[in-house]
């Protein structure tokens, strides 16, 4: 009986761990004037996140802060407040030189970018 219960708990834990979080859509997606900007933003997300990750690996705090600050500003303007907040955290961590919190922030940005790409109507 205990083995069955343990197996069930382990399966539940694994399922929870690998569940996909829901896609993220822009709060500005109904603003026609921003449609092209949102498309370009989402299409360029992977490249921007890659640049931040590369700067993190190279321990270039100033570059991370610059890239993340620009990402935060664009994300906020285009209706992605969660991405903006996460990017701001990366800026703070980079400026403070806190490697652990920076790694966590960059990981969070990567995950949010994937969710934004899944939620975008153009499925970039």
Residue-wise pLDDT tens digits, 68-104 = 999 999 999 999 999 999 999 999 999 999 899 999 9
Residue 109: give its domain's CATH number: 1.20.120
The answer to the question of residue 59 being in a domain is yes
Number of domains in the chain: 1
The 3-state secondary structure of the chain reads CHHHHHHHHHHHHHHHHHCCCCCCCCCCCCCHHHHHHHHHHHHHHHHHHHHHHHHHHCCCHHHHHHHHHHHHHHHHHCCCHHHHHHHHHHHHHHHHCCHHHHHHHHHHHHHHHHHHHHHCCCCC
Which residues form the domain of 104? Answer: 35-124
What average pLDDT score do residues 29-41 get? Answer: 96
């Amino acid at each position: 009986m205990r083995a069955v219960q343990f197996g069930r708990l382990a399966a539940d834990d694994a399922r929870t761990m690998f569940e996909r979080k829901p896609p993220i859509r822009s709060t500005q997606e109904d603003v026609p004037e921003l449609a092209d900007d949102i498309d370009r933003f989402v299409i360029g997300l992977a490249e921007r996140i890659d640049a931040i990750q590369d700067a993190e690996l190279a321990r270039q705090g100033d570059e991370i802060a610059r890239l993340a600050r620009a990402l935060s500003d664009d994300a906020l303007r285009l209706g992605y407040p969660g991405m903006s907040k996460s990017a701001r955290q990366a800026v703070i961590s980079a400026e403070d030189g806190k490697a652990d919190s920076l790694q966590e922030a960059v990981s969070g940005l990567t995950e949010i970018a994937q969710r934004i790409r899944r939620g975008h109507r153009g499925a970039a």
